[in-house]
Amino acid sequence: MKRPLPPSWQDIIERNVDLYRYLPEELKPQLHGHIQNFLEEKRFEGCGGLTVTEEMRVTIAAQACILLLNRPSTYFPKCDSILVYPGAYVAQKRSRMGFVETEESSVRLGESWTQGTVVLAWDEVSREASDVRGGRNVVLHEFAHQLDQEDGTGDGTPILESRASYAEWAKVLGEDFVTLRKKLSRHERDVIDAYGATNEAEFFAVSTEVFFDKGQALRRIHPRLYDQLKGYYKLDPASWEPK
């Protein structure tokens, strides 16, 4: 049995992680155990001159581990390190067409690598963790990618409970993905951010953010999608929110 959280960790979570305030009390001991396992297993590294503090480690771990509640937990087995930048950082992306190789630079707030690394911008982590109703959370987003990538591919379909689950998952998420793209083409807004229309993997990750941060709105606008995520995560965040 895991020992109680150190008081300093408890203070950090209560101060920094807004979602924790809405979490049902019966889930908190489970989350505390996950946080301790996560921090024992994962290596944190500061980038861009940043020194990673206890506050950063605990704040990130608390959010990532919410994705593991009520489910068999292997603690993101493909992720062994977390790189933390002080803010937005520039990443290089190489692509090849025939004999021509190109390299593009892009400014990022986070990313998830299939090779075992999650990269995060601390200022974005801190800002979004303290505003759960903002509907955006880079930690939930990138670790949702880790769940998606556990089967070796980031395609918007994580490992599900049964073979029978995959057909309904593909139908519901596929249809809502198309619906989002159509709404955006008509310049209509949706509770799911436009970035979710990039591809199926981003749709799953962005939908995960909204599921936890704006559960009631997602349930109202995308009820079938909400039910699929509720079945996968074994949680009902819409019931945590004040009515």
Beta strands in 5-99 (DSSP E): 43-46, 81-85, 89-97
Cα dihedral value 152, 115, 176, 136, nearest 10: 150
| Coil, helix or strand at residue 200 | helix
| Coil, helix or strand at residue 24 | coil
pLDDT of residue 94 exceeding 90, the answer is no
Average of pLDDT values for 202-228? 97
Dist. CA 198–CA 212, nearest whole Å: 20
Higher pLDDT, 91 or 37: 37
Dist. CA 59–CA 241, nearest whole Å: 21
- Read off the pLDDT band of 95 (50, 70, 90): very low
CATH of 1-132, one of 1.10.287.610, 1.10.472.150, 1.25.40.10, 1.20.1630.10: 1.10.472.150
Kindly report, as residue ranges, where domains of CATH 3.40.390.10 are found in the chain: 155-243
Which superfamily is assigned to 155-243 in CATH?
A: Collagenase (Catalytic Domain) (3.40.390.10)
- Read off the pLDDT band of 150 (50, 70, 90): very high
Kindly report, as residue ranges, where domains of CATH 1.10.472.150 are found in the chain: 1-132
Dist. CA 78–CA 240, nearest whole Å: 30
- Read off the pLDDT band of 114 (50, 70, 90): confident
- The closest of 12, 31, 205 to 109, measured between CA atoms, is 205
> Which residues, in sequence order, are bridge partners of residue 91?
106
pLDDT of residue 103 exceeding 60, the answer is no
pLDDT of residue 104 exceeding 70, the answer is no
| Coil, helix or strand at residue 126 | helix
For the chain, how many residues are written? 243
Query: Beta-carbon neighbour count of residue 222 at 10 Å?
Result: 24
Average of pLDDT values for 36-44? 96
- Read off the pLDDT band of 178 (50, 70, 90): very high
pLDDT, position 73: 78
Question: Residues of the chain with pLDDT > 90: what percent?
Answer: 80
pLDDT, position 102: 47
Average of pLDDT values for 211-217? 95
> Which residues, in sequence order, are bridge partners of residue 111?
119
Average of pLDDT values for 20-37? 96
pLDDT, position 239: 95
Cβ burial, residue 70 (10 Å; 0-12/13-18/19+): exposed
The pTM of this model reads 0.91
